[in-house]
Structure 1
Amino acid sequence: MEVWQILLLKGNDSFNKQQLPLAEEYYHQAIECLEQLWQENIEDCELLMAWISAFHNLAVLYEEQDQPKMAFRYLQIPHQRMAELSQQTQNSEDLQFVALRSLKITLMPLLAFSKKHPACDGCLSSLNKMAMAVNASQPVMH
């Protein structure tokens, strides 16, 4: 088992035991570990998905602690990164495709969060436009 996997498991276990500061620490450590590994192999989808999951875990943790601004921030970080990767033409087509597909994974929690916690009209409009663009750009598989 990889170090990042152990850290995520420990974070989840701590979260389930309501040891939230410890869970937060484990999630941050997992993110650091994943970022380092992902930099070395940016096309590794498993690392990418784990990285996104770690951020989403932190968002849930902050929401649980009634810190919606922090929760929203940790949902935005992977979403913004996927938007950037999907637009960078120096990346391989495979990486751009994975980033584009990942936008949907990062966008849905943002939209759900904005329904529970008031967002400014501009933010909500931007998220809805992004949702329409992401859905329109998904390739059709036959």
Structure 2
Amino acid sequence: MEVWQLLLQKGNFHFNYENWYEAEECYQQALECLEQFWLADMENSTLLLAWIGSFHNLAVLYEVQGKAQLAFKYLQIPHQRMMELSRCNDISQDLQLMALTAIKITLSPMLAFSKKHKACAGCLKSLQQMEAEVSAQQPVLH
């Protein structure tokens, strides 16, 4: 098992026992580790999904602690990164396709969070428009 996997497991253990500080430390370390591995192998979908999952774990952790702004920030970071990648012309089509697929994964939690924590009407409308655009985008496979 990879180091980042062990760290995520350990973080989940601490989270389940409400050891917030220890869970945060494990999730942060896993995230740092995953960033290094994923940047070295960006077309590795397992690393990408684990990287996104680490951000989402931190978002949930902060949300249960009542830190809604920080939680939303951790949902936004991977989403913004996937949006940037999906628009980047200097990467492979495979990576662009992975980024487009990942946008769907990152957008849903942001929408759910925004409804739960009463985002401003403009922000919620923007997220809903983005959801419609993402849903309408069907990649063309040759």
The two structures share one fold, judged by TM-score above 0.5: yes
The CA deviation at 1:10 is 0.4
Letter in 2 for 1:129: Q
Change (3 A) 1:92 1:140: closer
Aligned length: 141
Paired letter, 1:104: K
Q: Distance in 2 between matches of 1:48 and 1:24?
A: 20
Gaps of 5+ in 1: none
**Distance of 2:6 and 2:16 partners within structure 1:** 15
Shift of 1:138: 2.9
Kindly provide the amino acid, as one letter, of the partner of residue 118 in structure 1.
K
Give the equivalent residue in structure 1 for 2:52: 52
Matched residues, percent identical? 60
Two-structure CA RMSD over aligned residues (Å) = 1.2
Give 5+ residue unaligned stretches, structure 2: none
CA contact (8 A) 2:27 2:57 kept: yes
**TM-score, normalised by the number of residues in structure 1:** 0.96
Residue 96 of structure 1 aligns with which residue?
A: 96
Q: Deviations over 1:47-89 (max 9, x none)?
A: 0000000000000000100110011000000000000011101
Letter in 1 for 2:124: L
Contact 1:101 1:138 in 2 (8 A): no
Shift of 1:139: 4.0
